[in-house]
């Protein structure tokens, strides 16, 4: 029996010949879901972050065999019912992105943090977001947006 | 320096060479290659960029490629200001090369500086053209037609929208250079203090797409029937493919085409999926002709030059007075300084999609120089330039590193062979190994101060590699000529903004076996590191406050630098007592003789964690009129964060002549945990024109950090990046 996974609520079968393909490559180059970004391929930059069963994970370090039975949420599936996730709203209010390439990964990490810790302090934010690199240097705005999404004050 | 005759000058203008600042040249101009740099735009160039569509909407073909710097957004605000529109009512389009005449590559923080004029001129002329159409329509004098948002108010108070003035035949309205007035009223210039769009933080129109994953970068481009391509990266820079055995690769699953073209240094695969492509690529057995005398570190040529005493420098940047006159000076400051190889490390590893057909060639890629890439691809394929259309994509970071888009060129060759659209996506390792580097710098400064605190002697020698002329896209045949020119990219920021009774600044730009090129700020940060470290040292040796010492010695034409230094100092609480192990350091710079920027950095030496930390940075910048304060602030913060990386962590190491540091596990850019809190201030002097903001703040940041380290520890930083162990030992 072919193994399945759920992507943003829809069921997909794992093609037996693609079990060793990384999730980021499958999403982008097979399914055309390009919101998840490839950054480094070694789990060092966080650009490819998705949620696997609610946890922020590196899709470049995950192969399809690993996700049998799992629920995957990507940036395309983060908003629900036509309404943006509060983290996405905060990203817009704060005008976080510069080039924007790392931001889907940043947002997925921030959304997972919000689930785990609805009221993060500055150190919590820095710790949780430390695996997501941004070469444009939007870190300060990211911290502000995470605080804003949690109903906190902007520094 | 010799002046140029007119014929030579015209030739240089046509090829874009004047724009890189060449003032003397050998006679062999006939073999000069086409360079990426185009000429500075002229006032009349803007007519091709601003139009009114049949429905009455303004369309702006942004002549700046977007990579997050916001230049296209700022220029859209300029159009909006002139046309009495909201910025959101101006459709900003990144034009394909077929839609507009060639424009200068996007680099050097010039987007607002050089394009504000032509864009405002064209938009103002379009507005006045529309006013004349309104006059015709109502048969009145155009003097009686007042501005109104989105149109005009004609006599009797009647509103007429731009849409009502659009021709009924559905034609686009634009103004030609012949029709335009030489000096239309330009609201962008006139209405300072009363601007409606200029001066406000307009958001990026792609913001909603960027937070939902819909924004399209090169890697996201696709076409029906598209295949995936890749090619072998040469083992070292300059390696040439002699031949390749691809027998095994050709029969592997999913392989559509094996392409071996030694004349293009290409051993490539086109396959149905990326993993099939990679598998087949790995099965090719290439035979490379390696360059001779490969050394581990490609920077050795600079180091070898530096170790010769006396050093025979190629170029005198400044020679004024007699630096060997040592009389009357007792206060001195001198030292040697070094920086390392760095990489751009933009978050998007570059990609290119190409579809080569008999009738035309289309390419989708993110590049700072779309017309350069168009010409290169035409040349590589042996096609007419007009056959090649480049569709520019948003770049996932540029920073000077995307003047070339190598995978687009590979994709074009593979697409021609496979007769279908092909996308080539570089890996992160390709990105580190296949692009050009910021070269290392070696400096020696020897300076002295009179008793009254004024600088008596400034002698600065430095050596690095060419930056404008160091990329390997420049053909070998042209290199010996270019190597005789003084590379102004290498020398950027090497002219100190301070007076000295006697000054000598000399340098050599030595071509390396690896490609070297533009990186954020070019030479500005490495040069400022040396200059501003010595300024700090001189001030301390003279017993004068470092800010006061700089102000005292400022060149009169750079007086605006005093204000940003005072402002940065005020914000930081300059002069306050710091806890043991912490310190404040200051540095300042004038970027491209236009933008004034000062930085105060706070450093804490964490002896238990063995780290050097930069918790806070204050930056004041004067870049004249501010078009979009939010984007300017973002650029400042981005530069400061980048400067922290340059100062503390970023370094590409080599082995066997190739980059050994080839991913983020070895190349440490600033992360969230070590990103400082940055406080900015913008100073906008009355009447000052808008100038660049994309790079200036990187120039003084590493020096400010180095000076703060001295304030915290009495250790003078000599080499960047500086790590805890290098200063305080490993015990």
Nearest CA to B370 among B181, B638, B105?
B105
Inter-chain CB proximity A103 and B630 less than 8 Å = no
Q: What is the mean pLDDT of residues B67-73?
A: 97
Domains in chain B (CATH in brackets) are: 1-29 (no CATH), 43-212 (3.30.365.10), 219-291+350-425 (3.30.365.10), 300-342+437-728 (3.30.365.10)
What is the CATH class of A86-149? Answer: mainly alpha
Domain boundaries in chain A?
A: 4-77, 86-149
User: Contact B601/B617 with Cβ under 8 angstroms?
Assistant: yes
ipTM of model over 0.90: yes
Strand A71-73 and strand A4-7: the pairing is parallel
Q: What is the mean pLDDT of residues B402-430?
A: 98
Integer Cα distance of A40 and B664 in angstroms: 7
Predicted pLDDT of residue B169:
85
By the 10 Å C-beta count (0-12 exposed, 13-18 middle, 19+ buried), A118 is classed as exposed
Residue of B212, B349, B640 lying closest to A75 (CB–CB): B212
Place of tokens 């301070």: B498
Q: Which of B212, B342, B425, B661 to mutate to test the interface with A (most CBs of A within 10 A)?
A: B212
Task: Show the tokens assigned to B443.
Answer: 């400096």
User: Per CATH, is A4-77 categorized as 3.90.1150.10?
Assistant: no
Q: What is the mean pLDDT of residues A135-153?
A: 94
Angle in degrees, 0-180, between the axes of helices B629-648 and A139-149, rounded to the nearest 10: 120
Confidence check: pLDDT of B21 > 80: no
Beta-bridge partners for B437: B516
pLDDT digits (tens, 9 = 90+) for B650-668: 999 999 999 999 999 999 9
Predicted pLDDT of residue B22:
44
Name every chain A residue with its beta carbon within 8 A of the beta carbon of B220. 28, 34
- The three-state secondary structure class of B597 is strand
Angle in degrees, 0-180, between the axes of helices B701-713 and B524-542, rounded to the nearest 10: 40
Predicted pLDDT of residue B28:
39
Q: Is A93 on the interface with B (CB under 8 A)?
A: no
Predicted pLDDT of residue B154:
93
The alpha-carbon gap from A1 to the nearest alpha carbon of chain B, in Å, equals 24
Place of tokens 């820079």: B237
- Count of A–B CB contacts within 8 Å? 166
User: Contact B663/B428 with Cβ under 8 angstroms?
Assistant: yes
**Strand (E) or helix (H) holding B605:** strand B595-606
Q: Is A73 on the interface with B (CB under 8 A)?
A: no
Name every chain A residue with its beta carbon within 8 A of the beta carbon of B435. none
Integer Cα distance of B337 and B335 in angstroms: 7
Q: Which residues have a Cβ under 8 Å from the Cβ of B422 and sit 6 or more positions away?
A: B226, B227, B228, B229, B270, B353, B354, B355, B411, B414, B415
Predicted pLDDT of residue B500:
97
Place of tokens 């090829």: B15
Confidence check: pLDDT of B694 > 90: yes
Q: What is the mean pLDDT of residues B468-482?
A: 87
pTM (2 d.p.): 0.95
B162-176, B303-317, B579-593, B663-677, range with the lowest pLDDT: B162-176
Angle at B87 (CA atoms; ends B81, B89), nearest 5 degrees = 115
User: Contact B465/B516 with Cβ under 8 angstroms?
Assistant: yes
Mean pLDDT, rounded, of chain A: 96
Q: Which residues have a Cβ under 8 Å from the Cβ of B141 and sit 6 or more positions away?
A: B135
Nearest CA to B491 among B474, B468, B472?
B468
Task: Show the tokens assigned to B649.
Answer: 């962590």
**Nearest-10 Cα torsion for B367, B373, B374, B376:** -170
pLDDT digits (tens, 9 = 90+) for B142-200: 988 999 999 999 988 899 999 999 888 888 999 998 899 999 999 999 988 899 999 99
pLDDT digits (tens, 9 = 90+) for B331-375: 999 999 999 999 999 999 999 999 999 999 999 999 999 999 999
What is the per-residue burial (b if ≥16 Cβ within 10 Å, else e) of B664-703?
beebbbbbbebbbbbbbbbbbeeebebbbbbbbbbbbbbb
Beta-bridge partners for B177: none
- Would you tell me how many other CB atoms lie within 10 Å of the CB of residue B247? 11
Integer Cα distance of B213 and B197 in angstroms: 28
Confidence check: pLDDT of B3 > 60: no
The three-state (H, E, C) secondary structure of B436-460, written as one string:
CEECCEEEEEEEEECCCCCEEEEEE
Integer Cα distance of B658 and B296 in angstroms: 8
Mean pLDDT, rounded, of chain B: 93
Inter-chain CB proximity A37 and B206 less than 8 Å = no
| Backbone Cα Rg of chain A | 15
Q: Residue B65's closest chain A neighbor by CA?
A: A99
Predicted pLDDT of residue B35:
66
Place of tokens 């402002």: B567
Q: What is the mean pLDDT of residues B604-619?
A: 97
- Torsion sign (Cα): B412, A38, B522, B92: positive
Q: Does residue B310 have a cis bond before it (omega within 30 degrees)? A: yes
Q: What is the mean pLDDT of residues B96-111?
A: 94
Q: Which residues have a Cβ under 8 Å from the Cβ of B292 and sit 6 or more positions away?
A: none
Nearest CA to B107 among B322, B305, B401?
B401
CA distances from A103 to A26, B520, B676 (A): 20, 21, 19
Q: Which of A32, A100, A103 to mutate to test the interface with B (most CBs of B within 10 A)?
A: A100
What ranges in B364-490 are assigned the alpha helix state H? Answer: 370-381, 406-418, 428-434, 479-482
Inter-chain CB proximity B427 and A41 less than 8 Å = yes
Integer Cα distance of B548 and B453 in angstroms: 10
pLDDT digits (tens, 9 = 90+) for A5-63: 999 999 999 999 999 999 999 999 999 999 999 999 999 999 999 999 999 999 999 99
Q: Does residue B531 have a cis bond before it (omega within 30 degrees)? A: no
Task: Show the tokens assigned to B390.
Answer: 């480049």
Task: Show the tokens assigned to B280.
Answer: 């087949």
Helices (H) and strands (E) in chain A, counts: 5, 5
Predicted pLDDT of residue B5:
45
Q: What is the mean pLDDT of residues B665-681?
A: 98
Q: Which residues have a Cβ under 8 Å from the Cβ of B470 and sit 6 or more positions away?
A: B436, B439, B487, B509, B511, B512, B515, B516, B517
By the 10 Å C-beta count (0-12 exposed, 13-18 middle, 19+ buried), B510 is classed as buried
Q: Which of B65, B205, B213 to mutate to test the interface with A (most CBs of A within 10 A)?
A: B213
Task: Show the tokens assigned to B137.
Answer: 């329509």
Integer Cα distance of B491 and B317 in angstroms: 8
Inter-chain CB proximity B211 and A99 less than 8 Å = no
Predicted pLDDT of residue B264:
97
């Amino acid at each position: 029996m072919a193994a399945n996974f759920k992507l943003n609520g829809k069921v997909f079968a794992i093609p037996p010949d693609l079990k060793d393909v990384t999730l980021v490559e499958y999403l982008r180059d097979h399914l055309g879901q390009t919101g998840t970004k490839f950054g480094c391929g070694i789990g060092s930059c966080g650009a490819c972050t998705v949620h696997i069963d609610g946890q922020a994970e590196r899709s470049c370090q995950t192969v399809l065999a690993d996700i049998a039975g799992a629920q995957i949420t990507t940036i395309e599936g983060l908003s629900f019912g036509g309404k943006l996730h509060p983290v996405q709203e905060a990203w817009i209010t704060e005008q976080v992105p510069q080039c924007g390439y790392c931001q889907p990964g940043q947002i997925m990490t921030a959304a997972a943090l919000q689930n785990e810790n609805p009221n993060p302090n500055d150190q919590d934010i820095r710790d949780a977001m430390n695996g997501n690199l941004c070469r444009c240097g939007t870190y300060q705005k990211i911290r502000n947006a995470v605080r804003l999404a949690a109903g906190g004050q902007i520094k | 320096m010799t002046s140029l005759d007119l014929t030579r000058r015209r030739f240089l203008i046509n090829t874009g060479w004047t724009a890189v600042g060449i003032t003397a040249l050998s006679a062999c101009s006939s073999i000069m290659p086409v360079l990426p740099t185009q000429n500075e735009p002229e006032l009349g160039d803007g007519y091709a960029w601003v139009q009114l569509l049949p429905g009455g909407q303004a369309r702006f073909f942004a002549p700046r490629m977007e990579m997050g710097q916001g230049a296209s957004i700022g220029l859209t605000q300029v159009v909006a200001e002139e046309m009495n529109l909201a910025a959101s009512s101006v459709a900003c389009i990144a034009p394909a090369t077929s839609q507009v005449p060639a424009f200068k590559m996007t680099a050097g923080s010039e987007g607002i500086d050089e394009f504000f004029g032509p864009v405002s001129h064209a938009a103002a002329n379009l507005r006045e053209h529309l006013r004349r159409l309104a006059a015709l329509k109502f048969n009145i004098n155009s003097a009686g037609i007042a501005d109104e948002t989105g149109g005009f108010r004609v006599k009797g108070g009647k509103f007429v929208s731009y849409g009502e003035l659009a021709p009924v035949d559905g034609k686009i309205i634009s103004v030609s250079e012949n029709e335009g007035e030489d000096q239309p009223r330009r609201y962008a210039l006139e209405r300072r203090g009363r601007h409606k769009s200029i001066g406000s933080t307009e958001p990026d129109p792609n913001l909603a797409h960027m937070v939902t994953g819909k924004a399209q970068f090169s890697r996201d481009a696709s076409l029906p029937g598209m295949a995936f391509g890749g090619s072998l990266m040469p083992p070292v820079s300059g390696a040439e493919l002699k031949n390749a055995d691809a027998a095994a690769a050709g029969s592997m699953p999913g392989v559509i085409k094996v392409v071996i073209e030694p004349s293009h240094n290409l051993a490539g695969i086109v396959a149905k999926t990326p993993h099939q492509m990679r598998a087949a690529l790995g099965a090719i057995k290439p035979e490379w002709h390696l360059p001779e005398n490969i050394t581990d570190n490609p920077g050795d040529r600079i180091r070898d030059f530096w170790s010769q005493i006396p050093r025979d420098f190629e170029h005198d940047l400044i020679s004024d007075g007699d630096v060997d006159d040592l009389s009357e000076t007792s206060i001195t400051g001198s030292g040697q300084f070094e920086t390392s190889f760095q990489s751009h490390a933009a978050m998007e590893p570059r990609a290119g999609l190409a579809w080569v057909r008999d009738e035309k060639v289309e390419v989708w890629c993110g590049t700072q120089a779309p017309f350069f890439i168009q010409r290169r691809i035409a040349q590589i394929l042996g096609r007419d330039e007009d056959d090649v259309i480049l569709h520019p994509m948003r770049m996932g970071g540029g920073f000077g590193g995307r003047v070339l888009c190598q995978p687009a060129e590979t994709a074009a060759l593979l697409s021609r062979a496979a007769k279908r659209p092909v996308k080539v996506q570089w890996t992160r390792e390709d990105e580190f190994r296949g692009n050009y580097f910021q070269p290392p710098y070696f400096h020696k400064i020897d300076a002295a101060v009179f008793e009254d605190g004024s600088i008596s002697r400034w002698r600065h020698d430095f050596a690095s590699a060419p930056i404008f002329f160091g990329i390997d896209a420049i053909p070998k045949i042209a290199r010996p000529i270019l190597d005789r020119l003084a590379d102004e990219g290498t020398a950027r920021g090497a002219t100190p903004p301070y007076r000295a009774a006697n000054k000598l600044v000399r340098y050599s730009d030595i071509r390396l076996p690896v490609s070297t090129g533009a990186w954020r700020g070019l030479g500005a940060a490495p040069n400022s590191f040396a200059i501003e470290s010595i300024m700090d040292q001189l001030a301390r040796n003279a017993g004068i406050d470092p800010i006061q010492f700089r102000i005292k010695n400022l060149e009169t034409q750079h007086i605006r630098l005093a204000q940003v230094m005072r402002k940065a100092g005020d914000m930081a609480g300059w002069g306050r007592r710091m806890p043991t192990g912490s310190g404040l350091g200051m540095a300042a710079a004038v970027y491209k003789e236009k933008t004034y920027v000062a930085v105060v950095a706070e450093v804490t030496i964490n002896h238990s964690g063995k780290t050097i930390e930069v918790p806070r940075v204050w930056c004041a910048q004067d870049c004249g009129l501010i078009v979009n304060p939010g984007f300017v602030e973002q650029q400042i913060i981005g530069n400061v964060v980048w400067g922290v990386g340059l100062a503390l962590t970023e370094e590409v190491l080599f082995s066997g002549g190739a980059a050994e540091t080839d991913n983020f596990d070895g190349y440490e850019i600033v992360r969230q945990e070590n990103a400082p809190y940055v406080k900015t201030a913008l100073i906008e002097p009355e009447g000052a024109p808008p100038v660049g903001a994309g790079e200036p703040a990187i120039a003084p940041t590493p020096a400010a950090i180095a000076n703060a380290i001295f304030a915290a520890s009495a250790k003078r930083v000599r080499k960047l990046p500086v790590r805890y162990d290098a200063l305080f030992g490993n015990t």
